[in-house]
A and B are shown apart, each in its own frame.
Chain A
Amino acid sequence: MPLGDFTPLLARPARAGRADGTGAASQASPRKGRLSSERLSPFVLIAPAVLVIVLFRLWPLLLGVNFSFTGDGERNGSAVGLDNYAELFTDPLFLGALRNVGWLVLLLPVAVAIPGMLATFIYLRVPGHRFYRSVYFFPAVLSPVIVGSIFNLLLSFDGPVNRLLGLAGLGPVDWLGDSNVAMFTVVGVHVWATFGMSLVVFLSGFATLDPALLDAARSDGATLPQVIRHVIIPGLSRTIQFVFVTTMIGMLTSMFGLIYVMTSGGPGGSTYLPEYYIWIQQGQMNRPAFASAASTVLFLVMLVVGLAQVSFLRRTGRED
């Protein structure tokens, strides 16, 4: 940005009170250097942050997209067009990872409804609501590594969970060793670990809800489901939207630790998610360009899912 391009900060009319005061201060300043350093101050203050974000977050995004059109190994650096993408969509592991993303999207309403219901009950002050609030939130601050390690113990074949099922007369389940079950187990543990986060967000949304509306609905004799349907859901549409989007992002980007600790993608590649696939291709297979192609696909998937959700939720919000 050329220096003469911005209006001097000190002569800003936008903030009435400031123009006089700071004008006087600058007159009192003996050296001109101080004035120009003052003029540059916003840029000096913000430059380090901008530099870090541009260099280590935005620039790599472009670099990665660019990188995804090049080859690995023997074809290192040479342009290969869409070869990486073509290979990606024939790799059963990657397709399995995308199918698992599909499962996550389908399970999303459940992962949002659980904390939503719990927050509703806490808001309606079920006995012990304060206690529940702090207990439920606790797993949300634990690392996926800790959560995964603990559940490795709990879900082992002769562990507590199967023992509990045994008491109910149900056979033991091979939670992490059965390829039909493992993905749902990992998602279930993820929901256990994160529902407290959404719960707290819901509760802060409830704080903005007009209590008079609830009282009115109650005195009209509305049942709990009616209150939820006609008062709480419309009143919290923004919060619900926020929770949907953040839960989806959480599922797509913060399950690496759980998968790494609990299943390593197995059994039979059944618990792969794109982020784990990228990590394997980059770190274990040493195919960074190919991994970049998978990264780009993940980014597009997140963009599409996120935008679709926002527009869908907006539309349903308007119809209400």
Chain B
Amino acid sequence: MRGARISRWLIALPMALLALATIYPLVFTGNAAMKTRRDYILDRFAFADTLRWDNIATAWTSAGTARYFLNSVIVVAGAVAVLLLLGSMAGFALSHLRFRGSRALFLGCLAALFVPFQVIMVPLVRTMADTGLVDTYPGLILAYVAQYLPFTIYLMTSYYSAIPAEIVDAARIDGNTSYGVYRRIMLPMGRPALLSVGVLNALFCWNDVLIALLMMPSAEHRTLMVGVTSLRGQYSADIPTFASGVLIAAVPVLAVYLFFQRRIADAVTAGSTKG
């Protein structure tokens, strides 16, 4: 028994080091953002003597991060709203309304899950360009919806399947149509799943760079992630300002993670235990 306890601590030590290796990169970046350029060049490892917000301010204003941030917020909010609406409608239909072809549609949805964006990106961008959607907010929102909808439908369908048919039947006895059931039963009862899926989709869209790079070529429409990649060239000699840009892009994710950690993990693992 004692031997087992010692070996547990022996395992815990490398795990603690790994935890350090997980946190340190972000600490290093945050620390770099708080330094003056001179301090960073002289000693990049020492902790900054005070919290200095000048670099953050520079990155936010003169580097244009504010604009990129706004673009990202617009696109992520739009995409998540549409994803949740379409995903919950389809999930409800697939889980509680038996109709001919529902099984085939569900399987088709799963198949779409396995078509990676890289495989379809060339024709997709062409289609988007032909319809004038490239370099517009609706275009990028649509591209995100198309990308993450199969996954959203899959999770919403499996969540709604767990709602007993009796509840739906009771609502119908009360005179509700399918639309009424959707609005009065499925949307309120689906709230936990909608929140989890919404958070996860928001992270996906916020973090994406490839789709945004293809769909938003002009500088004023850049999303934050594309903006960060352009900061790198612009501020290659001014690491503290560059690190500030990275920090601005990471902080919302950090906040979301601290609030919704459990939900994110649940949504990620929902696919692994079923099927």
Contact = CB atoms under 8 A, between A and B. Distances in A.
Interface of A: 1, 5-7, 9, 12, 14-15, 17-18, 21-22, 24-25, 28, 34, 37-38, 41-43, 45-46, 48-50, 52-53, 55-58, 60-61, 63-64, 67, 118, 121, 124, 126-128, 131-132, 134-139, 141-147, 149-154, 159-160, 163, 192, 196-197, 200-201, 203-205, 208, 224, 239, 242-243, 246, 249, 252-253, 256-257, 260-261, 274-275, 278-279, 282-283, 288, 291-292, 295-296, 298-299, 302, 306
Contact of A295 (B122, B147, B209): B122
Contacts of A201: 268-269, 272
Contacts of B272: 201, 204-205, 239, 242-243, 246
B223 to A, nearest CB: 10
Contact of A253 (B100, B117, B153, B250): B117
B149 A274 contact: no
B28 A57 contact: no
B25 interface: yes
A134 B105 contact: no
Interface string B231-271: 01000000100110010011001001100010011001101
A127 B9 contact: yes
B188 interface: no
Given A38-B177, A45-B93, A153 B239 contact: yes
Contact of B119 (A7, A61, A137): A61
A260 B214 CA distance: 13
B98 A282 contact: no
Contact of B207 (A9, A55, A144, A274): A144
A153 B149 contact: no
Nearest to A159: B44
Contacts of A302: 116, 119
17 contacts: A9-B97, A41-B93, A41-B179, A50-B90, A60-B124, A67-B123, A132-B18, A141-B203, A142-B253, A143-B249, A145-B249, A200-B269, A205-B273, A260-B209, A279-B210, A295-B121, A302-B119
B99 A6 contact: yes
Given A49-B149, A52-B146, A153 B28 contact: yes
A12 B98 contact: yes
Given A48-B90, A118-B18, A201-B269, 18 more contacts: A5-B100, A9-B99, A28-B175, A41-B97, A49-B89, A55-B146, A57-B112, A61-B123, A143-B208, A143-B225, A145-B226, A147-B25, A150-B26, A150-B28, A154-B28, A260-B210, A291-B122, A299-B115
A61 B172 CA distance: 41
A154 B87 CA distance: 40
A91 B101 CA distance: 45
B42 interface: no
A316 B98 CA distance: 38
A42 to B, nearest CB: 4
A220 to B, nearest CB: 15
A9 B100 CA distance: 10
Contact of A127 (B12, B175, B271): B12
Contacts, number: 293
Given A21-B173, A132-B15, A135-B19, A295 B8 contact: no
A136 B65 CA distance: 29
Interface of B: 7-9, 11-12, 15-16, 18-19, 21-26, 28-29, 32, 44-45, 86-87, 89-90, 92-94, 97-102, 105, 108-109, 111-112, 114-127, 142-143, 145-147, 149-150, 153, 165-166, 168-170, 172-173, 175-179, 182, 203, 206-210, 213-214, 225-226, 228-229, 232, 239, 242-243, 246, 249-250, 253, 256-257, 261, 264-265, 268-269, 271-273
B19 A132 contact: yes
A5 B253 CA distance: 49
Contacts of A197: 268
Contacts of B124: 56, 60
The 3 A-B pairs with the shortest beta carbon distances in the complex, nearest first, are A143-B207, A56-B146, A41-B178
A45 B89 contact: yes
